[in-house]
Structure formats: C-alpha cells, structure tokens
Amino acid sequence: MPLSNSGKALQLCLLAAANYLLFYGLGIYLARTLGTAGFGRYNVAVATLTMLASLATLGLEKFSLRVFPSYIEQGDWSSARGFARFASITILAVSSFGAVVWVAVNWGSYDVFRIYPVTAAALIVAFVASMALLMFLIEMLSAGGKAVLATLVYRLFLPLSVVVLVGAVALLGDGLTVWRAVICYGASWVISLALILECVRHALPADIWKAAPKMRIESRQWLRRSAPFLAQSFMMTQFASSGVIILQLLRPGDADIGIYAAAMQVSSLAVLMATATNRFYAPRASILLDRKDWDGIMRLRNERHAWVSPMVLVFLGVILLFGGRILELYGPDFARGYPALCILAVGVAVSVKYAGAPLALQFFGKARWVLGVICVAGFLNVALLVALGGPFGATGAASAYSVSLGGMSLAMYLKALYWVRRRQAAMPGETGSRAL
C-alpha cells in the first residue's frame, strides 16, 4: 500500500534522525580519539571540502527541484535528460577546476602536501567532484518523486559508509589520524556516488534515458535561473562551515574550534529533519505552483508546519535541559561549550521553523530579493565571526551564526507572509495565511 504524505514525511524524519545519530556517534569517537585540537582540524578539513563542493554545484541541485518535476509532469523527457546531462557535466568540470585551484593556492599550507603531494591533491579533487555531483543527483532523484530513496542513500548509506571505513582503519591500521579520518569521509562520498548513479538510472522514468537530450538552447537559461539557488545553497553551507574555518584563522589550533564543531553537530539535528522534509515537499510545491493551485500550496505549508513545530519545541527543550551532559560525551573539555550550544539552538530553531520560506519565495519569482537577503546575512555572519570569534571563541562564533541565520529566516518569513496576504487580497477565495 502506498504511503500517505504524512507517512513519507515521517520516514524522512526518521532517516534524518538515523543520520544524526550515526554522525553524532562518529563525532564522539573522533573527538575522544583525536583530541580537542585534532577534532577541530578534522572539522576544518571537512568544512572546506563541503564549501568547495557546494560552490561547484552552481545552484543546479536546488534548481532541479523547480524544473525537473515540471519536465516529468509534462512528459518533456528530452529536456529532463538534457538538464540531467548538462548539470552533471558542468558540476564535474567546475568542481574539479575549483579543487585544483584550491590545492594550488594552499600547496604550502598543509603538511599533507609536503608528505604526499600528488596523492593528497588527487584525493581532494576526487572528493570535491564526488561530493558536488552526489549533492546534485540526490536532489534530482528527490525532484523525480523518489525523495525517500534519495534520503535513504544520503542520510543512511553515506554516514554508515563513513562509520565502517573509520572503524576499519582504526581496527586494521596502525591508528586513526586526522588525515586518515578525512580520507574515510571523502571515500564514503565516492562510494555513495556509485550507488546513487544506479538509483537514478533505475528509479526515474525509463523514458528519460530513451529520449534525445535537449540542452543546447536551454543551458544558458538553466545557469541564469540557478544563480539565486547557488547563492542560497552556498550561503547556507557557509553558515554551517565558516565558523570552524574562521576560528582556525583567528585562533590556530585553539580548543574552541573543536568545541564549536561539537556544539554545531549537536544542534544540527533539527536542521537535518527540516531539510529532509523540505526535500519531500519542494517537488510537490513546484507542481502545485505550475497548476496555480494556491489553496493546495497553503495546505502543503500547513502540513509541513504540523511536522516541524513540535520537533522544534522538543529540540529546544532537550538542548536546554541536557545540552551540557550531551557535550560531555565528546570529552570533559567539551562541556564548556554549553553556552554556545544554547545560542546555536535558538538560531537553529528559528531557521528550521521558517525553512520553507526561502525556497517558496524563489518559486514565487522573488529570486532577486532572496539573493539580496542571503548575501547580506552571509556577509553579516562573516563580519560577526571575525569580530566575535577572536575574543569570545566558540560562544562568539555561535552568536554570529544565530544572529545572522535567525535574522535572515525571520526576514524571509515576513516577506512570504506579505506576499501571501497580497495574493489573498487579489483572490479572496484563497485561504491559509496561517501556513506561514
């Protein structure tokens, strides 16, 4: 029997929770094995790879949630295949080039380049390209109506691969180091990419792969329309990743880098659940928008908020009551990150509550406004990190994150609320402003 919409949303939330528990357990093991400073170095490396990959997608992964469902709905198989081919080739080229440039710029900055120059450079290029392409294919598979399958690979198989590889290195090798842990992380993306390629080939409609790809005429339009999604995707990645990177620049080797990374990991549970449900609701919203079914869009938003609001309240309660004890699992030194964790939790709660607003505004044709707000919030985050990270460490970085991300989310919400009220005034039969 096919699952109801609520059942699918529940599945996505459970997969997100499983993802969180796996990475949380892995984080505790790495923190205790590598120490506070080593755990910080590991997270700086992972954050750097993630930011490079996010930038290399050019926003095409989020843009696929807008166009790919429409192509399938209309039976435009040539455009669907053309978009998939164009986006994949473009992302591979841009990610490889970006990784090579980063390696060249940072050639003398890391000891790994002095010890294993060619191997390290090749692995970084391979990891960034695999991460970027996997990010795109996950969203394209979701856009094709296979959100649960996509989330299963991304939220369960990927972290399981990391855990298995790290465990194998720890048991069979001569000890786990920072760079070995990073290689395990990157290799898991390569393995997951191989799996998702098979899923895309067999789970999406067969008519897509039989059609002749049409992309020469539309490729420039795809890039132009994906640009706002690039800004949104990269800036959101920057919010999550820039803290440890800038702390490393301001306070090299400081314990607060690892402490902040642990606090970010603990606070990420609510974000994972929100993005998991968004991956399910966004393609449906795209189809409803094409049909101009405004009542359906409002019902969809109400449905999402019925899931998200209780999660946010439970999340805040757990952090406030047990946050210190949770951080102690990483090691005794990490417990002093409790104030930073509480500050992060507030910012995350606000952003998760209104996580659907940025994408909805993109769909409603407010891309330039969204782009402007995201860029302002991103620059504010970096400015506050530089100003507060040095003197206040993890607490300062958490404050920068929460102020900028929470303020951006609230601004998006108010804009979306204003837009809905204008639509209601123009079409009195529409209802559902509560959805926001």
Question: Would you give the DSSP letter of residue 216?
Answer: T
pLDDT of residue 109: 66
For residue 379, what are its two tokens?
């620059």
Question: Would you give the DSSP letter of residue 329?
Answer: T
3-state helix, strand, coil in the chain (%, to 5): 85, 0, 15
For 211-223, write each residue's pLDDT tens digit: 777 766 677 777 7
Locate all alpha helices (DSSP H) within 211-331, ordered by sequence.
219-250, 255-290, 294-328
- Averaged pLDDT of the chain: 80
In a 10 Å sphere around its CB, with 0-12 CB exposed, 13-18 middle and 19+ buried, how is residue 398 labelled?
buried
For residue 160, what are its two tokens?
């399981």
The pTM of this model reads: 0.78
DSSP tally for the chain: helices H, then strands E: 15, 0
For 285-309, write each residue's pLDDT tens digit: 667 766 766 667 677 777 777 777 7
Task: Indicate the range of 91-105, 195-209, 231-245 predicted with least confidence.
Answer: 231-245
DSSP labels, 131-178 = HHHHHHHHHHHHHTT-HHHHHHIIIIIHHHHHHHHHHHHHHHSS---H
For residue 264, what are its two tokens?
């970010």
The b-or-e profile of 225-237 (16+ CB within 10 A means b, else e) is: bbebbbbbbbbbb
pLDDT of residue 248: 85
The CA-CA-CA angle for residues 320, 322, 328, to 5°, reads: 125
Whether the CB-CB separation of 127 and 49 falls below 8 Å is answered with yes
User: How would residue 279 be classed by pLDDT, with cut points 50, 70 and 90?
Assistant: low
The CA-CA-CA angle for residues 69, 151, 348, to 5°, reads: 100
